[in-house]
Chain A
Amino acid sequence: MDGKLPSPSKQEQAERLQEERVSRRTFLMNVGIALNAVVALAIATPVVGYVLGPVLRRKEYLAWIPVGSVTDFPEGETKLISFQNPFSDPWDGATAKIPAYVRHSAADEFTVFAINCAHLGCPVRWFSESQLFMCPCHGGVYYADGSRASGPPERGLFTYEMKVENGKLLINAGQMPTLKNKARMDCPGAENPVSSQIVSRIESCAERSGTSASTIG
């Protein structure tokens, strides 16, 4: 190969490196490296913020959504409904819709169950004849009131926070319920679970004198 650059011999390389070790050129190279590190950090910080965007958002994705009027739900029945996710984009398509179950158990008692099985999030199906919710994935079964009947789930169905206003049923929704992001908090010992204080992403039970969770034990 006639066009090849001759590479310096091992000894030559070592000698050259030795004399370059403390020189202006080496110093300038180090300055260059440091400059790049600073710029990289400056660029990386907003990038990390961008990537973590979905996590850093506060609870602003939750909203009160009307799911129908009270009269739509006959007493003693559990009905499948669907609602539009409060914040959606045109490219969400059909995924902007979320199904849920509304149970009208007594005079003005409503419960709104999330569709997602508490085990791994598959859609549970309601069987009115046997009064059971069954999950097609791993056989989780729940009673009509949402409590666990059998199978792998370790808790009952998730429920949405709800309220009735002017004869309309509203639920506070916008998040897929999982064991860590429940549709609403469960306050142990509370007869009626208290509506959550929207202070941060982490839901907490409202302070009640004497028996709040932090004072027990």
Chain B
Amino acid sequence: MRGKVWYKRLYDWLERRVQLEGPVKDAVLHPVPRSTASWWYVFGSASLVLLILQVMTGILLALVYQPSAAHAWNSLELLNHELPLGWFLRAMHGWGSNFMVAVVLIHMAQVFLFGAYKYPRELTWIVGVFMLLMTLGMAFTGQVLRFDQDAYWGLGIGASIMGRVPWIGGQLVHLMLGGPIINGATLTRFFALHVFVIPGTLLAFTGLHVWMVLKLGINEWPMPGRIVRRETYVQEYNELAHKDGIPFVPGAVWKDLVFSAAILFAVAVCAAVFGPYGPKGFPDPTIISTVPKPDFFFLWIYTVLSFLPPEMETPFILIAPVIAVIVLIALPLVAGVGEKSWWRRPVAVFVLMFVAVCWGEWTHLGTYTPWSPVMNAWSGAPVPAELLHGRTPLERQGANVLQEKQCRNCHALGGKGGERGPALDQVATRLTEDQLYRQILLGGGNMPAYGSALSPAEGTALVRYLETLHPGYQPAAEDASRYVVGDGGRVPPKSTVERGAGQTPVR
């Protein structure tokens, strides 16, 4: 003992009592196949680092946050504007969650592509599936704690989905909301979920997940032709790890460390540049001029929900997620052996690409929601002047009706307005006068009927105006039979081609 420097003596004193050196050394120095020291293997550790970041920033936010429906929004505003660097912590936590969802998904895609879920790592994957669900649960409950209008109506959407469950739907809604409506009890409930229940479980599962990675070894780089067999795999892996292996530290860990640092830096940069998320409008349900929207990782669900026909909605919402989770859990049990290399797994590669493309496209659509009426288009987007030139007073009155009756909320003119219905710039080339009347008065094809909301005079003016909406080189659609039957056998006017398409000036 004598002769050693003081910190070495302190270390020895501690080590004699905690005796952690052995297990830690085992974990740190365990051999891993040389091929796993790759930049592709850094996403799992980055997820863990982001989880720790979320826990730390979450605790710091909890010092100030008020889980009360009456005060939550104000406490967020206080964090944003009054406490020094409160905005930065909120931004770190918000961007940290974005990065965490993204990195977890990338980690999952990589594990899937590398066949790492196969024998003997099936349970590691299954535990990971639950960790993904918990990560998404954290994202949703976190969005609720940012108690603004989006949170309030997001809870409404959650409750409405719950309310579709057969038999016990009503009770589930009350259980979820902590009562019959969204109020203070709902927020405290989601606070407990977000701060205690889900993170506690997630941390426990993370411990188990990492433990299994240590015990079963890091998945080797998949090579075409190297088949996973239950009888021989463990032996082959051990051979690989020992003959062509390196100790995990420092051989493989340095890339994890570098990537984690880069991710943390990226979170900090995003937080500093883009700032915290919201809170958006004050969560007063009587302010109904709001367009609720979920955070980006749930936009794809928001999109899917707009495309389902009414009769498909309930079965789809209730069955699809269950099937998805079952498929994910069953994957390693069904495909637990065989080829790991993506060169030999075309279906897996295609499925991954398909899911990624769908997710990307749905998320993209969810950002501009073409299916929603633009609520202020009728008052905010005037009819373009060039679509009023040369019109008769009656036709102009029709343009007025078009604007007043909120047609623009669903129909664009000059690129402005809703996209729920078709743009009307050239509607006259598609519909004849009679068809226009029929469509407006009776609706159909997802358009409401306006028969009771339009006086005959308004209807006439509107159709007269719509009849003028065609380019100069293409006449309005006409019902040829009208001329023959209704006008004593008069010959219909010359067709576009006979008159020379494109020859007439554009009006």
Interfacial residues, chain A to chain B (CB-CB below 8 A): 1-4, 52, 54-55, 57, 61-62, 80, 82, 85, 88-99, 115-116, 119-125, 127, 129-132, 134-139, 141, 143-144, 149-154, 174-176, 178-181, 201-202
Contacts and interface: CB of A to CB of B under 8 A. Distances in A.
- Chain A interface, DSSP helix/strand/loop, else mixed: loop
Given A93-B71, A131-B453, A85 B183 contact: yes
A98 B285 contact: yes
Nearest to B420: A139
B152 A132 contact: no
11 contacts: A82-B286, A94-B70, A94-B282, A119-B160, A123-B290, A129-B404, A139-B420, A150-B447, A152-B309, A154-B314, A178-B160
Contact of B183 (A3, A92, A120, A121): A92
Nearest to A136: B291
A157 to B, nearest CB: 13
Interface residues of B, number: 76
Contacts of B186: 95
B181 A137 contact: no
A104 B145 CA distance: 38
Interface string B2-22: 000000000000011101011
Interface stretch (B168-176, B320-328, B347-355, B497-505): B168-176
B165 interface: yes
A152 B420 CA distance: 12
A131 B447 contact: no
B373 A141 contact: yes
Of A92, A95, A178, the most chain B CB neighbours within 10 A belong to A95
Interface of B: 15-17, 19, 21-22, 68-71, 152-153, 156-157, 159-165, 169-171, 173-175, 177-186, 282-286, 288-292, 302, 305-306, 308-311, 313-314, 371-373, 375, 378, 404-407, 409-410, 420, 443, 446-450, 452-453
A82 B22 CA distance: 67
A141 B448 contact: yes
A156 to B, nearest CB: 12
B160 A121 contact: yes
A92 B157 contact: no
A92 B446 contact: no
A52 B175 contact: yes
A181 B69 contact: no
A147 to B, nearest CB: 10
Contacts of B283: 93-95
B205 to A, nearest CB: 22
B160 A134 contact: no
A90 B310 CA distance: 39
A54 B405 CA distance: 44
Contacts of B448: 132, 141, 143, 149-150
Which 3 pairs show the lowest CB-CB distances between chains A and B? A178-B163, A93-B70, A121-B156
Contacts of A180: 163-165, 169-170, 173
Given A54-B175, A141-B448, A134 B375 contact: yes
A12 B305 CA distance: 63
A202 B169 CA distance: 11
Contact of A137 (B19, B288, B372): B372
B362 to A, nearest CB: 13
B158 to A, nearest CB: 9
Given A54-B174, A130-B453, A175 B180 contact: yes
A80 to B, nearest CB: 7
A109 to B, nearest CB: 16
Nearest to A116: B156
Nearest to A201: B170
A98 B163 CA distance: 19
Given A94-B284, A121-B160, A1 B181 contact: no
Given A94-B285, A150-B446, 18 more contacts: A1-B22, A2-B16, A57-B174, A85-B181, A85-B183, A94-B282, A99-B286, A115-B288, A119-B160, A121-B157, A124-B288, A129-B378, A129-B404, A129-B406, A141-B448, A176-B159, A179-B169, A202-B170
Contacts of A120: 156-157, 160-161, 305
A37 to B, nearest CB: 22
B306 A154 contact: no
A121 to B, nearest CB: 3
B406 A152 contact: no
A79 to B, nearest CB: 13
Contacts of A138: 302, 305-306, 371-372
B318 to A, nearest CB: 11
Nearest to A93: B70
A122 B180 contact: no
A121 B157 CA distance: 5
B151 to A, nearest CB: 10
A97 B16 contact: no
B443 A150 contact: yes
Nearest to A96: B183
A127 B373 CA distance: 12
A88 B186 CA distance: 12
B310 A91 contact: no
Contacts of A91: 68-71, 184
Contacts of B17: 3
Contacts of B308: 152
| Residue among B22, B152, B162, B170 having the largest count of chain A Cβ atoms under 10 Å | B170
